[in-house]
């Protein structure tokens, strides 16, 4: 029996958090309670100053997340469906625009809302057994949790439309070819690789990580001239941090930097 608090499990290891979506009997499909718990888990991570990197994965061997829960959505009226879309878009924006680095460790099916959850993360790596796709068209709907916007920005309109028009599922290897995931690893090594990557990133100074994320995510929506000015502003802001002084001094003194994450 699933109870509140069990559907998204967060484990903390110093600066890393591992979030596991835990509804394996429904292939981790996101129903209202799971979404509420995911929202609470993301808010808790964002509020924890110690956490620098969070990994999101799915429980079991079959699925990352097989989508929004179709049983929940089927009877919705237009306003109810719009409400869910807006609420989940806000949740995924918390991930995309949050101050933590999020890594999606795609351990199986990442379909519909599952693919959209992965798209909101900063980095996506996949097990070689994973399958990804936006099959909403087969249900008479469109992706509504950011997919029609994030997917074309990531893989280009032609490929994104092909995936959304056909609803086809693609392999992890194909997803890597089109830039939808950045790495494919054997399924048994997926979590180890995600943690290795997370540890490398968590060893970096937090403000620089945050400003890289902001520069990429916000700059992407600007024309190039504005984006360059924005980058220069954020570059300047780095020089207000203790870690910039320390990082450069450590280089000049030929020693390892002692980051203060300030």
Residues that bind ligand CAA (CB under 6 A): 26-27, 29, 66-71, 109, 111-113, 116, 135-136, 139, 143-145, 147
Residue 71 or 80 having the CB closest to ligand CAA = 71
Q: Shortest approach of ligand CAA to residue 123 CB, angstroms? A: 21
Closest-CA residue to 245 (of 259, 232, 231)? 259
Residue nearest ligand CAA (C-beta atom)? 112
Closest-CA residue to 29 (of 50, 75, 60)? 60
Closest-CA residue to 78 (of 164, 144, 2)? 144
Residue 144 or 247 having the CB closest to ligand CAA = 144
Q: State yes or no: is 116 an active-site residue.
A: yes
Cα–Cα distance between 139 and 124 in angstroms, integer?
Answer: 26
C-alpha 197, offset from chain centre = 14
DSSP state of 62: S
> Which one of 2, 61, 116, 183 is the catalytic residue?
116
Cα–Cα distance between 195 and 11 in angstroms, integer?
Answer: 12
Q: Shortest approach of ligand CAA to residue 66 CB, angstroms? A: 3
| Interacting residues of 223 by C-beta distance below 8 A, sequence separation 6+ | none
Residue 41 or 111 having the CB closest to ligand CAA = 111
Report the interhelical angle of 206-219 vs 242-252 (nearest 10°).
110
Q: State yes or no: is 136 an active-site residue.
A: yes
Q: Shortest approach of ligand CAA to residue 227 CB, angstroms? A: 29
Dihedral of alpha carbons 54, 59, 61, 63, sign: negative
> Which one of 46, 136, 168, 231 is the catalytic residue?
136
Q: Shortest approach of ligand CAA to residue 259 CB, angstroms? A: 38
Please state whether beta strands 16-21 and 8-13 pair in parallel, antiparallel, or not at all (unpaired).
Answer: antiparallel
Residue 35 or 103 having the CB closest to ligand CAA = 35
Residue 65 or 101 having the CB closest to ligand CAA = 65
The burial class, CB within 10 Å (0-12 / 13-18 / 19+), for 139 is middle
Q: Shortest approach of ligand CAA to residue 234 CB, angstroms? A: 32
**Which residues are known catalytic residues?**
116, 136
């Amino acid at each position: 029996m699933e109870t509140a608090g069990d559907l998204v499990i967060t484990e903390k290891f110093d600066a890393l958090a591992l979030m596991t979506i835990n509804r394996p009997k429904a292939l981790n499909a996101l129903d209202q309670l799971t979404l509420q718990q995911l929202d609470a888990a993301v808010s808790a991570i964002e509020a924890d100053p110690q956490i620098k990197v969070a990994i999101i994965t799915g429980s079991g061997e079959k699925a990352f997340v097989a989508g929004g829960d179709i049983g929940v959505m089927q009877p919705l009226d237009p306003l109810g469906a719009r409400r869910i879309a807006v609420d989940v878009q806000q949740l995924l924006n918390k991930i995309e625009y949050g101050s933590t680095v999020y890594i999606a460790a795609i351990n199986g099916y990442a379909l519909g809302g599952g693919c959209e959850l992965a798209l909101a993360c900063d980095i996506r790596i996949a097990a070689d057994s994973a399958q990804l796709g936006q099959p909403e068209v087969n249900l008479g709907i469109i992706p509504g949790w950011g997919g029609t916007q994030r997917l074309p920005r990531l893989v280009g309109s032609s490929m994104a439309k092909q995936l959304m028009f056909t609803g086809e599922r693609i392999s992890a290897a194909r997803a890597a070819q089109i830039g939808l995931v950045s790495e494919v690893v054997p399924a048994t090594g997926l979590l180890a690789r995600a943690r290795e990557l997370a540890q490398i990133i968590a060893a970096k100074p937090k403000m620089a990580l945050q400003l890289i994320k902001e520069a990429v995510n916000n700059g992407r929506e600007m024309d190039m001239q504005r984006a360059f000015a924005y980058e220069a502003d954020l570059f300047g802001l780095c020089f207000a941090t203790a870690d910039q002084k320390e990082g450069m001094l450590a280089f000049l003194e030929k020693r390892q930097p002692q980051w203060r994450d300030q």
